[in-house]
Every structure is written in structure tokens, then in C-alpha cells.
Amino acid sequence: MQDKLNEIEQAALESLQSITEQAALDAWRISTLGRSSALMMVFAEFGKLSKEERPVIGAAANRVKAALEAALQIKAEALKTVVLAKSLSEEKLDITLPGRTKHIGRLHPSTQQLRRVLAILAEMGFQVYTSREVETDDINFQMLNFPLHHPARDMQDTFFVEAENRGDNPILMRTHTSPGQIHAMREFAATNPQNPPPIRIALPGMCFRYEQITARSEIQFNQVEGLAVGKNITFADLKGTIADFVRRMFGEGARLRFRASYFPFTEPSAEVDVECFVCGGKGCQVCKNSGWLEILGCGMVHPNVLQNGGYDPNVYSGFAWGMGPERQLMLRNKVNDIRYFWGNDVRFLEQF
Amino acid sequence: MTLRGEKGEIMKIPISWLKDFIDLDGLSIEDIARKLTLAGMEVDEILYAGLAMPIYKDGEKHEFKTNGIAWDREKIVVAEIREVKAHPNADRLTLLDLFDGQQDQVVLTGAPNIFDLKGTGKLAKPIKVAYAKEGSVLYDGHADGLQLMTLKRAKIRGVDSYSMVCSEKELGISTESDGIIILDDAAPVGMPLADYIGDAVLDISILPNMARNASVVGIARELSALTGRELQKPTIKFKTSGDSVEDLVSIQITNAELNPRFVAGLIRNVEIKPSAYHIQRRLKHAGQRPINNIVDATNYAMIELGQPLHAFDYDVLKERAGKKKIKISTRVASDGEKLTTLDGAERTLTPMNVLVCDEKGSLSIAGVMGGTESEVTEKTKNVLLEGAAWNFINIRRTAKQHNLPSEASFRFSRGVHPAVAETGVKRGLQYMAEWANGNIAPGLVDEYPLKPKDPTIIVTPQDVKRLLGIELTAKKIAELLTRLEFKCVVDKNTVKAKTPPHRMDIAEGVVGLADVLEEVARSYGYDNIPVTTMADALPPQVGNPIHEWEEHLRDLLVALGVQEVVTYRMTSVEKESRITQYTEYVRIANPIAPEKNVLRRSLTASVLSVLEKNIRLGESLALFEIGPIFEPVKNNLPNEPRKLAITMSGLRDATAWDVKESATLDFFDMKGRIELLLSGLRLTGVTYTSTESTPHLHPGKSAEITVNGQVLGVFGELHPSAKEKYELGASPVLVAEFDLALLRKSAPTYGIIPVPEFPPVYEDIAIIVDESVLATAVESLIKQTGGRSVSSVRLFDVYRDEKIGAGKKSLAYSLTYQAEKTMTDSDAATIRNKIVKRLENEFSAKLRS
């Protein structure tokens, strides 16, 4: 009997070896371990054995059964691996085919840039203040220290709105967001005229200039201004605040310089250049070989402007700075034609 | 405050001219340009014309836009022509016997301006020229534009040519290439040309408050303040002879506000001829065309000192005065008065224009342009030279009115101090005497009825600390201001600074203090001011809920797959009238173009234009814009309500290489976006009402959106006859417009609906109703009947066929039954039966399944 068991085991293992398909393996399992297999017959005929033989043969039969089951499992695993490998190799995609897309929406690039600027300003404590786009001459110019017929007005060619009997106060398209300075200061000052509260605001919005529409100039553009007014604000603070802003906006290592300049509503005034981030200051087309990029204008709020806003210039001081989100994008993203912004060609918009 | 258009007028300053008034040794041209730039005189470009140019190696910093060429000191020198000989084989060419300081040379040239000397033998007086030897790098005189070339040996018509005498173009002095440069007789032969007349020209932007620096002396003064080097002011000295001008000419000013000062001097027996070459060269570098020595003297003195001058032919005035005393007066023009100006144009004047007149009539438009009759000509012998001060606003308006921008009006319209009038006239006379051998008459006629205040400003170290944030002693403040010629008196902790008599930009009081502090800061150097953070605590933070809400709205729209656009506020009635009927608009008085002559009233029209423009660029477009429209208010500021407009057209789904079919977007795609948008804003109780009152929308496919009885917006498919007016594709075009103020004011729902703990039961029911029964009525009846037990009702199919019958439709709903316990099928059946019963009663509905 012992020999028979060994024979069964030997034969089964041998036939198992040549199996390469699942169906053959199933057949092997039935013929080797199934109810009518030779091995099972041994168990079935157990009763015919002597008392002495039973434990010996039983143990042997169990060992053979266990060994064959183990062999079956190993074979089954091996077959599964082979099958999987085969199917994986057959399922190889051309991964260079394009993906399936969706129609998605994006913010206009100007909105994206406005958000970047305003987010930094908000962290610095400058909160958004908005005001109207059509203004009167007095708010857009006179209150901001541009007297009537003043040469400084040449710097801001203006669109006027048809209106009669306006005298020296015509209606116009605002040429900058600075009228918001007057609106805001007056609003804040009205809350406590004797001792107006300090101000820190950001003024974003669309502005208009009478210019030919070319690759370099547009009739409308966004501006963002920062305005701080208080009792202890200095030009050194202006430099510090702008240095912080520029670092956040243009990167930790951005070098900047302050150039004396002129704006009617600030004094002293300055323009700020940041080291050209395209060429690192070496000189390139973007910075016109100067190594510097003009990025913003700034200055201490002019005493007349403080006065017009309801803040006593003998007690209060402040600073303001302004910049153009579209210009920043043009520099950042090598946009060589400002007309793209309001042209709204989706092939432009999709790139942001 | 802006980065656009803040540039001033460009002033061209040759370095050689600056050196007349300040020692610049040891400073490179870039050093000078940098100092000026940082102090507010931005150098836009440096044009080299001879002086050595900086050589940038890779990695070195360029600082300025540079142009032009340097002249090789070995190869380009002063030489003299001793004889002009004929070329053996070419009639139009000549051969020059030339000495370059070291040896004799034979040089071939075709220069027309010495051609006349051909074959005249040895010249009595040699001609000094700019001579370039073999290997010199020059601009090609015959090429279009500026192209560099290296001078090479060649045979021209059988004669060996290895060098040349140069034109201005070849040396980068001007664009003139017709003749060669003929230098002044004093030019030292053999000297490197770069040492003799090598130059570099700075293009400087003059800011509106720096009119005083629109002159060589002005820039030299600034450099003096910036370097601490002494300003060597021009020395004005001349001899006089003959009758005093006061006996011959009188001045009468009728309005001192418009004409604070009028100075005139006289010079006799001038010999009119071209100016010396070094004068012509400087004028050209400064952007002026040399005319003759008298006109050049007025321009030269103007560029040097900033005072525009005007030269009259004295004899013409004398003739007009009937040989008697010339009585000059200044007055405003009468309406319609005419004057022919130097440019030959007859100008019709208005009472805003100030005129310089004699007894016979007008002579010139004050400060802007002279008249033809009294102008200096080749025949002029005696010159009356005017230097006056005018009201800058008046000059600005006059120059604008007659579209006459000139060097004079540019300076006068920014404010020239009346004190400079006298210096200017004297300087002009001095140059005329030197260049034209004239005799200056003694004295000046000088009417000076209105002296400027030249305010004295009191500055303290506390002021400097409070506004600039730096600690400076009174002594240091005085030192900084004295460099700019303020007269300063220090008294303990106070500086009394008197404005120097060449600037008009310092006011009085608190504004004057700011004006002077700016000068302290510039003189101290902006770069030397420290960087600090604001000492005060942050003021109370005031948010901007409207702005924040709009940004949220933008995010929702983008999440819904809609692209933001931003369009021009300016449009035309014609463009908008494709979908609107407005006639009243905010109109632009000076439109840039007819298609941008009004402010938009319809944001939908704006987004439709963008859709039209892009329609062929994608299979599907969904666009939105948020912004104001402008509602006119007669003779007053318009209302600027903010709107949201959305438009969509094209395929519903993106196609791909294996997804080739998609339906087109229709009414319900737009409605779905709006539903999602409003739920994103947490608005509930939204009702959609069919509307036929929006003319640009399809009457059967449009709806008003109402929340709490308030119409917030309207949407639908673009009316076919409106669509026809655009070039849009075949697909339906959907549009929506909301009023943002109303939308924002619709209160969002408070709180959330808790997520149920117990499992729901789902069931679909289909009912057959008459066509006239609205889906929304069925849905609300189901909800009403089901109450809290029905948590969701979703229409998933609308079906019609013969079996159902004509005039009938099947509506299939997916219902979700929900309870505060596990809902059983029989619970659900009870509710469903109730619902079906009511539908049967109310709508004669029949249950299909």
C-alpha cells in the first residue's frame, strides 16, 4: 500500500509538471484529488486495512494528499502569474494618444494677476476699496493736486463724457484709481472728523487713457494702488513696505531701486525698478538692455491731497503706490502685445 | 499713479556741453547717467558719437540703452586738405592731398562740398577734416539706416583707396551724408578726433516739475548737487557801443499775470553766416537744426540756460514805427485777430492768446512762435532780442489750441523763472557778438511788473524725521539744500531755505515744506534713506463684502466650466443695437474711434461679441463677464450697475479620438449652469418663469429667474433674428444676464440639511398627463404631498408616443423616500399611493407603471 501511495504521488507530480493551462490543471485536480481518484480510493478502502496498518497508511496517505495539494497551489499560482503577465502584455496602450478632456473655465489673466496682487496686499493689511469708473474732473484731477490746465495733465490724456453746463468740472473716464483715495479718505474721515482713523487700503480697478491702441498702449487697463495714511508714516516706511511687497511679488532675491520721479498727488515721488527677472540684470530685450524693469510708481501723499481727503497734513502723513497688473503679466509671461488682454481670443486666455 | 505716460519730454544733452559748466573728470558716462536717473532725470538712452563706449562682457550689467559708435583714437584723426585734385579716370571724384599730422596721404572722395575746389591748386588756407584710416569702423554713409562697416583698401577707378574723409553720418553725428565735415580752422591737425569733438549724448526725460532742468546748466547744477563738485556758471561779459537800447525801444505790459517780465537787448551790424562747426555739432546733438549764427545763438542760449529767446529784425520794427522809437507792447489778442507765424500758417487768434505787438500790430504769439514779417533773414543787420516770462498755463493752452508744440512753448508751458529772462538775453547777445561780429548796444529794456515770490521755507530736523524717517541735523539739511542753490540760514534747530531764482516749483506753507523735503531727499539720495516698517499698529480692518462675493461668483462660474472675459467699456450703439433698443447712452466727447464712442449698456452684447470672435476656434465656448454697465443721467455721473453675463454655444461634451458624438448645448444646459450657480450661492426658492418680454431671446425658450418675488435675471436661447446679426455657427446660442446687486441681496439659506442616518427607498414612477401640464407643477405637487417623507424628486424622462395618445406626455420621476427610521417598501407604497391619487385628482394623471 505504501508503494502504491508513492506511485500515486510520483505519477501525479510528474503529470503536474507538464501542465500549462488552467483547464488541464482543473482536470489534474479532479483526477488526482477528486472523489474517484486513486488517492481517494485509498481513503475509501481504509476500512479494509488491519488495525496495525491503519495509522501507518493513514499518515502516509494524508502526507501524500497534503503534498499534492501544496503542489497544486504552487502550480495554480504560477499559472495565474503567467496568465496575468500574458494579459498585461496584451493590454498595452499607446499612451501617446491624447487624453479625453473637458470644457473648462478659467479666470481672465487680469483677474488672476489682480488676485495675486490683492492677496499679498491683504496679508499686509491693505483691504480692497473700489469706486466708480466714470468720475468728475474735480475728483479725478483737482482734488489730487492736478489744477485745471496744469502741465501734469498732459501725462494723462483723458476721455471726456458728453455733458453740458459742467463748467470746470467735466465728466470723464477716470485716468487712474487715485480718485478712490479721495473717496476713501473722505469716507474714513467722516467717521471721526476731529481725529480721522488711520487707513490702509488697496484700490483696484479699470482706468482709461486717450491713447492709440497699439501693441504697447491701450485705452483701458487695470491699476492697483496701495494707500496708507496715519500719524507716523514716513518715506522710509514707504520704502520698507514696497520692499516687502516686491519681495512677495517678484521673489526673495529681487533687487530694487528707487528713482526720484514726479506725480502731482505725491511728494516726494519715486518710481521703483526691479532687477530684470528675465535676464537677471544682464540686459535683454525685455528690459531694453537696462537691467531694470519699471514696476511701480509711489510717493508720500501730497499735503493738498491729504487736506482734500479731510486729513490735516500737519498731523497726518501717508504714502501710496500704484502698479499695472497687465504690465506685470506682460513682463512675467512675455506677453508682447497689450491688445491681447481685451481681445479675448480664447487661444490667449487658455494659456493662463 | 501709474507707469503709463509719466515720462516727461526728452531733452538731449551732449556731455561735452555739460563739461563747460562742471568738471566731470573721473566719472564715466554711465556714472553720470546713473546719478541723474536716480535723482529723477531718467536717462532713456546714451548715444555715443566718438567717446569710448563701455564694453560689456557676458555677465556684466548693461545699465542703459546705448547706441552709436566710438572713434578709434589711432585711426580717426583731424587732418588738413592741402589740395583738391582731379581724379584721372572719374569726373565726379576728386583726389585730396591731405596731411594727417604724421604723413601725407592721397584720399579719394566724391564729396560735393569741396568739389568746387577741384583743380584750384594748393589751397591758401587748408581745410580741416575728419580723416579715417584703413581699418576704421564707421557707419556706411551710403547704406539705408545705420550699418557699421570697416574701412578696407580698394581700387576705385584705378586709384588705390585706403582711407576717407568723413561725413557726419559716417561718424554717427547726424544723418547727413551729402558732404564731408568741415571742421573749424582751429582744429589741431593730428589730434585724435575723439579727443577733439568726441561726444556722448544723454536722452533725459524732463519731468513736469523739473522745467528748470530743460537746459545744460540745469543738468550741470543737478550734477553739482549730486557730486558735490562746483557749478561753474557761465560768465557773461561783453563790450557795448552806440546808442542805448532804452532810447530806441520801450516795452509796455498790459497784464502782468500773463507777462511777468519782458527784457530786450539790441545788437548792431551782425554778419549773418553759418555758425562755427563746433556750435553746429552741439546744436545737432541737442536736436536743433542749425540755421545761421543769429538764430543759432538764440537756440544755443536757450538750450544752455533754459530761456527761450526771440530775435526780431530791428530794422523791420524801425520801419513799422516810422523810424521813431519802437513801442513794444504785450496784450491779449482780440477775437478773430490774425497772424502769420514763422511756419507760414495764418493763425486765427482768440482772447486767450497773448501777443507781442508794436504800434502797427502783432509781431508774434508770445512764447509760442514768431510772426513772419519781423523774422531774422539773411539780410538782417540789426537784431532786437527778446527774452520774456509768460504764464505757463496760458502758454500751454495757446500751444495746444494752435497745435504748436515748440522748444519755446515746451519750456514756457512748464514755467521758466522770470529771472532767467535777463541772463538769457545777455547770453544771446554775447554769442551774437562773438559769432557774428555785432556791436551790442548798452543797456536792456526790462519791464518786470510781477516778481515771483521765491518762497522761504522753514524746515526742521523734526519735519525731516516725521516725513522722510531720517535723522538729519539742521546743518546737514542746509548743506543738502545749498547744493541746489537754496539760500539757507541755520538758526538753532531751524533751517530757513530761500528758493533760488531759477525754479518755480516750490510753493509756500505745508506744500512748500513737502516740495523742499523732496529736494532734501533727492540731494541726500533715495538710496541712502533706510528701509523701515510702519510703526503704528494695523488700523481696524475693513473688508469689502461686495468684492469678496464677486470673486466667489467668479470661482463658481469657472468651476462650471465658463471662461472669464474682460471687454472694452467703450462700444458703439450699432454694435449693441443688434440685441438692444437703447437710444440714450453715456457718450464719449473725444472718442478714439467711431466704434468706441459710447459706454456699454449691455454686458450681454459684450460677451456675444467675444463669442462671435471666437466661434470658429473651439467646438464649444462658454464665456462670462462681470463688470459695470453705464446708465446715462443727463449732465451728471451715470449709474454703474454691475452685471454678470454668460453666453454658451457649441457641443455639450468634449469630443476625443474615440468620442466623436456630442449633442449641442441648449436651453437646459444654460438652465443647469444657472441652477448650479444659484445653489452655489446657497439660494433656494428660485422660480423660473417663461417670459416673452425679452426681445433678443427666443420667446419659447427664455425664462426669468425670480427669488422671493424679485427678478434677478433672464436667460434663454438667442432669438433667431438677433442671432442672424452675428456671425455665429449653426448651434443655438444661449445667453444669461444677472443684476449683481439684486443677486447679492437675495439672502442665502441658513444652515444645512442633515445627512439622513437611515437608508432611503428609491422608486421611479411615470405618469401620463396632458401636454399643458407644466413639469414644475407636477413636481411641486409631488413634493407637497410627500412632505418630509420625499427627500428628492428628479425628473428623468419626458416621453411621447401614439400609445400614450395625442396631446399627452409621460413624465418619469425618480423619488427618494426618507424617514427618521428605516423606510420599508410598504411605507413607501403608502406615500406613493397618496401622491398618485392627488396627481389623478389635480391633473387627471394616469399612472403608467
| CATH number, domain with residue B831 | 3.30.70.380
Q: How far is CA B353 from CA B154, B265, B312, B591, in A?
A: 62, 24, 20, 27
pLDDT of the residue at B424: 97
**Final residue of a domain: which of B697, B712, B745?**
B745
B597 in a structural domain: yes
Q: What digits encode the pLDDT tens for the residues B580-589?
A: 999 999 999 9
pLDDT of the residue at A287: 80
Which residues in A166-180 are b (16+ Cβ under 10 Å) and which e? Answer: beeebbbbbbbbbbb
Q: Check the CA dihedral B200-B203-B206-B211 and report its sign.
A: positive
Per CB-CB distance under 8 Å, the chain A contacts of B63 are: 283, 290-291
Q: Which grid coordinates are listed for B150? A: 570697416
Q: What digits encode the pLDDT tens for the residues A60-80?
A: 888 988 999 999 999 999 999
* Chain centroid offset of residue A194 CA: 45
Checking if the pLDDT of B466 tops 90, the result is yes
Average pLDDT over residues A88-100: 90
CA distance B209 to A262: 7
Report helix, strand and coil shares of chain B as percent, to nearest 5: 30, 30, 40
Q: What are phi and psi of B197, to 5 degrees?
A: -130, 20
Q: Is A283 on the interface with B (CB under 8 A)?
A: yes
Single out the residue of A241, A240, A236, A230 nearest to residue A313, CA to CA: A230
CA distance B584 to chain A (A): 12
**CB spacing of B566 vs A342 below 8 angstroms:** yes
If you search the block for the grid coordinates 562742471, which residue do you land on?
Answer: B22
Q: Check the CA dihedral B616-B622-B628-B629 and report its sign.
A: positive
CATH no. of A109-349:
3.30.930.10
B237 in a structural domain: no
**CB spacing of A344 vs B610 below 8 angstroms:** yes
Give the list of residues 6+ apart from residue B492 with CB closer than 8 angstroms, or none. Answer: B474
Going from N- to C-terminal start, the domains of chain A cover 2-90, 109-349
B510 in a structural domain: yes
B434 compared with B822, residue with greater pLDDT: B434
Average pLDDT over residues B269-287: 96
CA distance B238 to B222: 28
B238 in a structural domain: no
pLDDT of the residue at A153: 79
DSSP B71-139: PPTTTEEEEEEEEEEE-SS-TT-EEEEEE-SSSEEEEEE--GGGGGGTTS-EEEEEEEEEEE-TT-EEE
Q: What digits encode the pLDDT tens for the residues B660-707?
A: 888 999 999 999 999 999 999 999 889 999 998 899 999 999 999 999
pLDDT of the residue at B5: 34
**CB spacing of B62 vs A291 below 8 angstroms:** yes
**CB spacing of B61 vs A213 below 8 angstroms:** no
**A97, A234, A345, best to mutate vs chain B, most B CBs in 10 Å:** A234
pLDDT of the residue at B443: 95
DSSP B626-639: EEE--EEETTEEEE
Q: Check the CA dihedral B774-B775-B781-B784 and report its sign.
A: negative
**CB spacing of B3 vs A324 below 8 angstroms:** yes
CA distance A87 to chain B (A): 23
What's the ipTM? 0.87
Q: Which grid coordinates are listed for B33? A: 547717467
B705 in a structural domain: yes
CA distance A291 to A280: 7
- B669 with B729, same domain? yes
Contact by Cβ (8 Å): B828, B761: yes
CA distance A228 to A38: 98
Domain count, chain B: 6
Q: How far is CA B592 from CA A96, A160, A209, B602, in A?
A: 50, 11, 10, 20
B8 compared with A26, residue with greater pLDDT: A26
B814 in a structural domain: yes
- B728 with B620, same domain? yes
CA distance B508 to chain A (A): 12
Q: How far apart are the first and last CA of chain B?
A: 72
* CATH code for the domain in which residue B482 is found: 3.30.56.10
Q: What are phi and psi of B743, to 5 degrees?
A: -60, -40
**CB spacing of A290 vs B599 below 8 angstroms:** no
pLDDT of the residue at B233: 93
B3 in a structural domain: no
Single out the residue of B577, B615, B622, B613 nearest to residue B598, CA to CA: B577
Q: Which contacts (CB < 8 Å, 24+ apart) does range B527-530 have?
A: B527/A257, B527/A258, B527/B38, B529/A235, B529/A236, B529/A239, B529/A258, B529/B468, B529/B469, B529/B470, B530/A236, B530/A239, B530/B469, B530/B470
- B482 with B380, same domain? no
DSSP B163-185: -EEPPHHHHTS-S--SS--B--T
- Least confident piece of the model among A194-208, A311-325, B333-347, B625-639: B333-347
Checking if the pLDDT of B492 tops 50, the result is yes
**CB spacing of B554 vs A107 below 8 angstroms:** yes
B239 compared with A255, residue with greater pLDDT: B239
pLDDT of the residue at B3: 34
Across chain A, mean pLDDT equals 92
**CB spacing of B3 vs A161 below 8 angstroms:** no
Average pLDDT over residues B127-150: 93
- B118 with B143, same domain? yes
Please, how many CA atoms are within 13 Å of residue B138, restricted to the half-sphere of its CB?
29
Would you place residue B58 in the very low, low, confident or very high pLDDT band (cuts 50, 70, 90)? low
Percent of chain B surpassing pLDDT 70: 98
B709 in a structural domain: yes
- B183 with B41, same domain? no
Q: Which of B561, B567, B614 lies nearest to residue A103, judging by beta carbons? A: B561
Q: Which grid coordinates are listed for B744? A: 447679492
**CB spacing of A244 vs B620 below 8 angstroms:** no
Percent of chain B surpassing pLDDT 90: 80
Checking if the pLDDT of B375 tops 80, the result is yes
CA distance B517 to B470: 11
Is the previous residue joined to B540 through a cis bond, with omega within 30 degrees of 0? no
Checking if the pLDDT of B470 tops 60, the result is yes
Contact by Cβ (8 Å): B498, B456: yes
CA distance B415 to B390: 8
Q: How far is CA B488 from CA B331, B371, B457, B485, B499, in A?
A: 38, 44, 9, 9, 9
Q: What are phi and psi of B287, to 5 degrees?
A: 90, 15
Checking if the pLDDT of B7 tops 70, the result is no
Domain residues for the domain of B830 are 761-847
**CB spacing of A323 vs B3 below 8 angstroms:** yes
- B767 with B733, same domain? no
Q: Which of A111, A199, A258 lies nearest to residue B539, judging by beta carbons? A: A199
- B340 with B380, same domain? yes
pLDDT of the residue at B537: 82
Q: How far is CA A71 from CA A6, A25, A42, B585, in A?
A: 15, 11, 20, 91
Checking if the pLDDT of B41 tops 70, the result is yes
Minimal Cα distance from B468: which residue of A? A235
If you search the block for the grid coordinates 428660485, which residue do you land on?
Answer: B686
Contact by Cβ (8 Å): B339, B371: yes
Single out the residue of A82, A92, A88 nearest to residue A25, CA to CA: A82
**CB spacing of A291 vs B570 below 8 angstroms:** no
CA distance A250 to chain B (A): 17
* CATH code for the domain in which residue B345 is found: 3.50.40.10
Q: Looking at chain A, how many residues does it have?
A: 352
Give the list of residues 6+ apart from residue B225 with CB closer than 8 angstroms, or none. Answer: B39, B483, B484, B523
**CB spacing of B558 vs A162 below 8 angstroms:** no
CA distance B517 to B510: 11
Across chain B, mean pLDDT equals 93
- Looking at residue B60, what DSSP letter applies? S
CA distance A131 to A206: 10
**CB spacing of B547 vs A324 below 8 angstroms:** no
Q: Which amino acid is at A102?
A: K
CA distance B680 to chain A (A): 16
B675 compared with B708, residue with greater pLDDT: B675
- B773 with B841, same domain? yes
Single out the residue of B598, B591, B680, B615 nearest to residue B644, CA to CA: B680
CA distance A315 to B817: 70
Per CB-CB distance under 8 Å, the chain B contacts of A235 are: 467-469, 521, 529
**CB spacing of A282 vs B60 below 8 angstroms:** yes
Q: Which amino acid is at B626?
A: I
Would you place residue B154 in the very low, low, confident or very high pLDDT band (cuts 50, 70, 90)? confident
pLDDT of the residue at B6: 41
- B365 with B388, same domain? yes
Single out the residue of B306, B285, B308, B286 nearest to residue B295, CA to CA: B308
Element (H, E) at B793: strand B790-799
CA distance A176 to chain B (A): 6
Q: What are phi and psi of A159, to 5 degrees?
A: -90, 125
Based on DSSP, count helices (H) and strands (E) in chain A, helices before strands: 12, 10
Contact by Cβ (8 Å): A316, A229: yes
Q: How far is CA B374 from CA A48, B334, B336, in A?
A: 151, 20, 21
Contact by Cβ (8 Å): A198, A178: no
Would you place residue B742 in the very low, low, confident or very high pLDDT band (cuts 50, 70, 90)? very high
**A130, A262, A308, A315, best to mutate vs chain B, most B CBs in 10 Å:** A262
- B372 with B461, same domain? no
- Least confident piece of the model among A3-7, A174-178, B120-124: A3-7
Checking if the pLDDT of B310 tops 90, the result is yes
Average pLDDT over residues B707-730: 94
CA distance B584 to B606: 17
CA distance B332 to B401: 15
Checking if the pLDDT of A215 tops 70, the result is yes
Please, how many CA atoms are within 13 Å of residue B527, restricted to the half-sphere of its CB?
12
Average pLDDT over residues B317-330: 95
Per CB-CB distance under 8 Å, the chain A contacts of B614 are: 344-346
Would you place residue B849 in the very low, low, confident or very high pLDDT band (cuts 50, 70, 90)? low
Single out the residue of B385, B59, B431 nearest to residue B237, CA to CA: B431
Look at phi and psi of residue B361 and say left if phi exceeds 0, alpha if psi is from -120 to 50, else beta: left
**Final residue of a domain: which of B696, B716, B745?**
B745
Q: What digits encode the pLDDT tens for the residues A114-170?
A: 999 999 999 999 999 999 999 999 999 999 999 887 777 777 789 999 999 999 999
Contact by Cβ (8 Å): B486, B512: no
- B432 with B321, same domain? yes
- B216 with B264, same domain? no
Q: What are phi and psi of B305, to 5 degrees?
A: -110, -15
Would you place residue B1 in the very low, low, confident or very high pLDDT band (cuts 50, 70, 90)? very low
CA distance B95 to chain A (A): 43
